[in-house]
Amino acid sequence: MAENNPRKFEDELADLEGIVSQIDSGELSLEESISAFERGVALVRSLNQKLDEVERRVEVLIRDSRGELKRSPYQGGLAPDSGGEDKDDDEVF
State which H helix or E strand residue 17 sits in: helix 9-25
Domain count, the chain: 1
Angle at 13 between CA 7 and CA 14, to 5 degrees: 100
Q: What is the pTM of this model?
A: 0.61
Task: Decide if 27 is inside a domain.
Answer: yes
Task: Decide if 87 is inside a domain.
Answer: no
Mean pLDDT of the chain: 80
Task: Decide if 74 is inside a domain.
Answer: no
Output the pLDDT for position 61: 61
Task: Decide if 32 is inside a domain.
Answer: yes
Query: What whole-number distance in Å separates Cα of residue 14 and Cα of residue 19?
Result: 9
CB atoms inside a 10 Å sphere around CB 5: 5
Task: Decide if 37 is inside a domain.
Answer: yes
User: Is the predicted pLDDT of residue 90 greater than 80, yes or no?
Assistant: no
Instruction: For residue range 46-58, list pLDDT tens digits in order.
Output: 999 999 888 777 7
- Of 55, 81, 52, the C-alpha closest to 66 is 81
Query: What whole-number distance in Å separates Cα of residue 43 and Cα of residue 15?
Result: 8
Output the pLDDT for position 78: 56
Which residues constitute the domain of residue 36? 9-57
Task: Decide if 84 is inside a domain.
Answer: no
Task: Decide if 68 is inside a domain.
Answer: no
Task: Decide if 93 is inside a domain.
Answer: no
> pLDDT band at residue 17, thresholds of 50, 70 and 90?
very high
Residue 77 or residue 31, greater confidence: 31
